[in-house]
Amino acid sequence: MQSVIIPNETQMLSFAAELARSLTKGSVVFLYGDLGAGKTTLVRGILQHFGHQGAVKSPTYTLVEPYKLSKQKMYHFDLYRLGDPEELEYMGGRDYFDSDAICLVEWPEKAIGFLPKPNISVFISYHANGRKITVVQ
Ligand code: ADP
Ligand code: MG
């Protein structure tokens, strides 16, 4: 387990790109942290590494946003508004995770028991000098 302090958004995107290098087809990443911690920022950095350009909108109401990038299909989940973990089942959650897409999941704690085991878990917390990130593989 390793923790680092990341001082700003630019460094956050660089950190995400570095993290993205360890992801392969079918990888599942859980992103933990309070609102505004920087989960979506990390997702943006990861998507950019795989060739996505432009903004990343939080799929707060749709729960999932697909990205068909040239070499890699990716799904970005934001489960903050998931009322009941079973909803994930109704929306066909299994199909997303059984594919060879990379799945990036914000608020995985909202769907305990309905998600596969992650390859990497990232914990982000507020810190006087930016954010503290702990990566658990
Ligand atoms: P979340 O998805 O966790 O709710 P967002 O990524 O949407 O958080 O928002 C994080 C906010 O914090 C953004 O305004 C971003 O600019 C800022 N931010 C991201 N990383 C850092 C950092 N390492 N230090 C300071 N501010 C950051
Ligand atoms: Mg977010």
Domains with residue ranges and CATH for the chain: 2-136 (3.40.50.300)
Q: Is the pLDDT of residue 61 over 90?
A: no
Share of the chain above pLDDT 90, in %: 80
pLDDT (0 to 100) of residue 95: 87
* 64, 96 contact by CB (below 8 A): yes
- Each residue's pLDDT tens digit, 62-104: 899 999 999 899 999 999 999 898 888 888 888 899 889 999 9
pTM over 0.85: yes
Mean pLDDT score of the chain, rounded to an integer? 94
| Pairing status of strand 28-32 against strand 130-136 | unpaired
pLDDT (0 to 100) of residue 46: 98
* Integer Cα distance of 121 and 7 in angstroms: 20
Closest among 18, 34, 12 to 123, alpha carbons compared: 34
Report how far ligand 1's centroid is from the alpha carbon of 129 (Å).
13
Pick the residue whose CA is nearest to atom 18 on ligand 1: 9
Closest-approaching ligand to the CA atom of 7: 1
Angle in degrees, CA 8, 36, 29, rounded to 5: 85
Report how far ligand 1's centroid is from the alpha carbon of 90 (Å).
31
Is residue 9 in contact with ligand 1, taking CB distance under 6 Å? yes
* Integer Cα distance of 51 and 35 in angstroms: 26
Share of the chain above pLDDT 70, in %: 99
Q: Is the pLDDT of residue 21 over 90?
A: yes
Q: Is the pLDDT of residue 1 over 80?
A: no
Report how far ligand 1's centroid is from the alpha carbon of 34 (Å).
10
Is residue 133 in contact with ligand 1, taking CB distance under 6 Å? no
